[in-house]
Amino acid sequence: MLQHIESMVSSLKESGLSLSGKVSPAGKLYAKIDNKTIAQELTSKYGFSVDAAMIKCDKFDHVGQYEIKIIFEKIKSSFILTII
């Protein structure tokens, strides 16, 4: 598992992660994006279960770029989340 996480973190540091959602004309999301949403996307993208508790972030309700922290055992890293 640790090897999978290290590989995922390395990839995320280089390319980040993009999520899309329905937004109002003002750029506000109709449904907030939180650590559970991000963990589900990472699970889907990388093919192994990512626990939402590993993702440290607030709930986001606007499009933009945000720094997301990942903490798993001795791995501590961050990546850029782009919400479009």
The pLDDT of residue 48 is 93
Domain that holds residue 41: 2-83
At 34-61, the pLDDT tens digits run 999 999 999 999 999 999 999 999 999 9
State the total domains in the chain.
Answer: 1
Helix 2-15 to helix 35-46 angle (10° resolution) is 100
Q: Is the pLDDT reported for residue 63 higher than 90?
A: yes
The pLDDT of residue 2 is 84
pLDDT grade for 27, boundaries at 50, 70 and 90: confident
Q: What is the CATH number of the domain that holds 31?
A: 3.10.430.100
User: Measured between alpha carbons, how far is 84 from 76 in angstroms, rounded to an integer?
Assistant: 26
pLDDT grade for 1, boundaries at 50, 70 and 90: confident
The pLDDT of residue 59 is 96
Place of tokens 């903490």: 71
Residue 59, classed as helix, strand or coil, is coil
- Contacts of residue 72, Cβ cutoff 8 Å, sequence gap at least 6: 2, 5, 54
